[in-house]
Structure 1
Amino acid sequence: PLITNDGVTIAKEIELTDPLENIGAKVISVAAVSTNDIAGDGTTTATILAQEMTNRGVEAVNNGANPVNVRRGIENASRLVDYWVGWAFRLEINTDEEIEQVAAISSGSKEIGKLIAQAMALVGKNGVITTDDAKTINTTLETTEGIEFKGTYASPYMVSDQEKMEVVLDQPKILVSAMKINTIKEILPLLEGSMENGNPLLIVAPDFAEEVVTTLAVNKLRGTINVVAVKCNEYGERQKAALEDLAISTGTLAYNNELGGGFKDVTVNHLGEARRVQVAKEKTTVIGGKGSKETIQKHLDLLNGRLKQTTEKYDTDLLKERIAHLSQGVAVVRVGGATELAQKELKLRIEDALNS
């Protein structure tokens, strides 16, 4: 059993014996899950609001109201609330004290609030903060080399954690392709090499042919190879920049397949490496990339040089973002606990605080 006050976690566990009542419970559960996907927090509030709107709606219909008009009224009210909450009452959270307060309220713990504020102070407001299991009962904070980009698994069958819909790879080899991978034959030697050395394999590319995704997913399900294909969801210059930065931070190249040569000259030894990779529904976080500090610094110097020369706002913003991601690294909250259940419950509260 898991003792928790996390709304979406509780909602997912609700199963009623009456089929019709269970349908109603699942509708409320969808509200919690959707809120978690979009906002990352506030699922208990969403559940209570959904239940109350359902109760009031049924009450109105029982008193003679037209169901269609009730639905329209709810939709109109939701648009009005969305405007006021999303724009009219939007507050900027800037200071360490404000960040600490928001995180403390979300998690129900002043200690967690302080920890999140410290993490954000280390990597910046737009920095990357992630969680990991500690080997002791203490919860600690550390920073490490890392990078995050918009990209997700090419197939849900590659997911290892069905509850969170994410996959985690420890000590993976990393292939970064600047072009779409069209056939499994292109990467077959690398797949065979990864199977031989026993390392998980992360493949990042702008796109994959359906045949490639299917073959990789089937072999992962069979346990033949631990592989995840990630489609980079950036576009244009942002995509090129994301792949280049990822390659440099992990000690490899963004291989260009445009001339049709495939990856025939690329071996497992040419691939990038990282301590850990987390692939979620919308983003991929690479922690502890094995790129050399000298190469990364040269790349940062190059980006800083470009920044001094450019005058276009789009280019300036992109360069500043790249420099920040490469130089600030990733803050890792290592979550401890006296028992596995205590550790899991604390981890859920910390994740809520981060998302808030």
Structure 2
Amino acid sequence: MIRKIKFEDGRKKMAEGILSLCRVLSCEGQVMVNGAYSFAASEVAGKLEGTDLFFNQGIRLAAAAIGEINQAAGCGTGESARLAAQLLAYCERKSASGISPVLLARELKAAATAVEEFVGEKAIPLPDINPDLIEGITKDQRTAQMIVEGSEAGELVVKESMSGETRLEIIKGMRLDGGLTVGAEGTVGDALVLIVKTPIISFSGIYPLLQKIGQQNLFILADGIEGEALTLLSANVKQNRIHVRAMKAPGIGRRKEDLFEDAAVYTDTMVFDGIYPCQMEEISPAMLGRVKAVTAAGSYTIMKGNADNSRINRRIDGIKERIGDPKTNYYDKQMLRGRIAGLMGCAPVIYAGGYTTVQAKEEKRRIESAVAYYQTVKKFGVLKKDDLINYQAGSEAEKYLTESMKKCFQNEEISAYLMILTIQKICGMIVMWLTTGAVMVSTGYDREDLELIKSGVDVERLRS
């Protein structure tokens, strides 16, 4: 009897924690956290935690589920919080009436699976997406139009702007952040490309290659141009003896290595390191890459090459697999999309503006959410609310789930991916609260009991 009292008390406090976070996130608008407006579940959850461990566990459980939905789909925080609150109330009523939590969890899982399959079957693709569909996230029609235009041009990337206004730039070619180390700003056509992942220090090492290419344009992307090489290359360029432009590759660590490999694939060459595949003195013009033009514009340099080759397609496919990996976080996905944009030779960038740093960050987060929502709609389509209204539910749990979703989702057209993800995460959270959560806050269960619970066996009924 003592163990049962602890079990009920702990589960009840976890439910209070889940409900407290859902109430806050269900409100319209954003929540102020540390003087800044936020709608991130994790940030809000940190301010709601108290001294009770079970209560805090409930908050963290809800924050993890709702945060994953918002991160993957770009929105859905309010909808998922309202759905979680309604399902939690339903399960509490059923549990109070004497239904086993394990049996209730099994019914909810079956209902979730059935509704997921229905949403997947009824989803319809949208070849042309209206900006009005994402205007509710951006709060601005002009920004919504930018997102549509940028996404149609290629893999859209969002960055913070140094100015107060939000703008869209579509760059043709592979963009490299950073200015030239050697050479003047401007555009040169039909250039050879040398990529070296180590610093170039000795001029004698690169001199044989300069002799072989003669008066052809050469663009060098290296880990650095230093010492004797920097001095003599700059002097010869100024005297117009050679036509060389060189820059230091941006980034550090793994990101810099990825940039070298991407640039080599884009220009159809290889990455040299002074030893492999040959010494610097042995490099021939046939081993170099080639681009149609190189444009240096102060803070960035653009290589315009041929983006239609099999090496580029294979590399893009590999990057897309990493984007689709559930372990890849949102920040890394943004970086990977930027790499795809560079390899495709078309880099649409939205610069999120704001008159303060806080405003710029809020605008950037809002645009990123809208872009994520646009991408899910483009890939998975939408579900019309009329289809959800006409859904014929089987079990009582299935009926309550669909009725709750009708109340939580207000738009007439809803992202199918958002709905499926919300069902998976929220129903999974409630199931965890009903089963695994109960084990965490109870006492007296041995290893065999845990295995039985995971298999769906009602241990309490077996012992009674």
TM-score under structure 2 length normalisation: 0.39
TM-score by length of 1: 0.49
